[in-house]
Structure 1
């Protein structure tokens, strides 16, 4: 439980009320990301949202390179990064099974892992030196959602080309930023899923309509019942190995030739 003094200090740090700077550092981070995401008008796909997240995360933290790790079945993938060297470093983590993005995604706890000197970090004997050879000397990763129920969506990964290059980043800020990013990602996924369902529904309606037209033509020209007309379409579709909707569309578009 946070005491009153700590809460006031955190509140003052979150929002700086001086005249020249009405929003504190953390508030500005969220405002920056929120404004960037909103420019998509609420219609961005998941990839576009992730692209915005990594570039804003790099700018507001001062990291040299930022990437996103997402779960991919039983493994991981890096769908976006600000520099391809991040994908190379992430891939080493996936292959060796060690490193901050793996730990932040799969391990319990707060969902944060990092190193100020990768070349000499004994925790990651394979990943650390390999990352240093790529020119990346410090790193941290925050799980999305940090501190939440398992499994997490993935992790935000921050790299610096300098030893101790990320020591200035506040851990609490990083965890809050990861939560904000996870909410944005889930929102984009929900919109994308809704748009897919809408597209599928529209396609189903169009298919039903064109099949109805073809049935009507057969009923009129051959004196069939509705069920007989549908069975004729279905049987012909199977015999010719043509989708029922495509067969119906061909029939409806060439009714004058029948």
Structure 2
């Protein structure tokens, strides 16, 4: 069984090697710290990576986020609710996944007031992890804190995704507690570790979805070009016009009927015998 001393020793080795390498890589390009040398911390690295990257590709970004929230709640069973905040390209925030709808309400108070651990953890200048043990009286959050306390939440921890990545951060994991005593049982190192792995898995899922969208758009464009080409050919034959004139007929019909050119072209191509 892994003892607390084992954990602390593994953490010290990890931090010392990471700081010494300026991010965890040795001069020869290899990892300075082998997973085996990290002991229980290394086991956690492997377990988290294996779990997050085992989400089926078809589950997409939402599937990865749901898995991240599940693991976050496993990591902090004393938390009343857990949520994920994502930052949009325009700097706004939204909560796509949570364990309780109340978490979305609490998150939105952070977004609305511009205060709270979540907002701080996502900020480019932050250390990546922020917490409050007494939301009702925390002087840092005079607008956010009391309002969330009225929802029954006493404390909150937020970890940025991804604390050691290139800026800007993708978002944050938010852990809400009904009692500050439950904070004594959480491991913020592991929270940061989950946030880091979660961000990598999320970025990978986003790239896969973006590629699927591009492929779908390309397929749709090619299909549209084909059917429009068929319709133009039919009009050229039936009306005795050239290609430009045939397309102009389609364009005018699209405007007059307020119907997409592709849809008109599909109708012409499918009913050519009736024309």
Fold conserved between structures, TM > 0.5: yes
Is 1:256 aligned with 2:273?
yes
- TM-score w.r.t. length of structure 1: 0.84
Aligned positions of 1:12-161 closer than 5 A: 24=40, 27-28=43-44, 31-32=47-48, 34-35=50-51, 37-40=53-56, 42-62=57-77, 63-72=79-88, 73-161=90-178
1:238 to 252, 255, 265: 255
1:217 to 221, 224, 234: 234
Cα shift at 1:61: 2.7
How many residue pairs get aligned? The number is 249
Paired position in structure 1 for 2:21: none
Residues 105 and 153, structure 1, Cα contact 8 Å, conserved in 2:
yes
Cα shift at 1:9: 9.3
- TM-score w.r.t. length of structure 2: 0.79
Paired position in structure 1 for 2:180: 163
Write the distance in 1 (CA, Å) between the matches of 2:210 and 2:11. 45
Compared CA separation, residues 167 and 26, structure 1 to 2 (3 A): farther
Residues 55 and 64, structure 2, Cα contact 8 Å, conserved in 1:
no
* Secondary structure at 1:124 match in 2: coil
Paired position in structure 2 for 1:204: 221
Cα RMSD of the aligned pairs, angstroms, is: 3.0
Write the distance in 2 (CA, Å) between the matches of 1:5 and 1:91. 34
Cα shift at 1:96: 2.0
Write the distance in 1 (CA, Å) between the matches of 2:37 and 2:183. 23
Q: Deviations over 1:8-55 (max 9, x none)?
A: 79899x7699xxxxx736734752563255142x22222222112111
Which deviates more, 98-107 or 170-179? Answer: 170-179
- Structure 1: runs of 5+ lacking an equivalent: 18-22
Which deviates more, 192-201 or 90-99? Answer: 90-99
- Structure 2: runs of 5+ lacking an equivalent: 1-9, 18-32
Cα shift at 1:5: 10
Write the distance in 1 (CA, Å) between the matches of 2:167 and 2:174. 18
Write the distance in 2 (CA, Å) between the matches of 1:182 and 1:223. 59
1:176 to 190, 193, 207: 193
2:13 to 7, 27, 48: 7
Write the distance in 1 (CA, Å) between the matches of 2:232 and 2:43. 62
Residues 68 and 154, structure 1, Cα contact 8 Å, conserved in 2:
yes
Cα shift at 1:203: 0.8
Compared CA separation, residues 222 and 96, structure 1 to 2 (3 A): closer
Residues 136 and 161, structure 1, Cα contact 8 Å, conserved in 2:
yes
Residues 142 and 174, structure 1, Cα contact 8 Å, conserved in 2:
yes
Paired position in structure 1 for 2:23: none
Cα shift at 1:256: 0.8
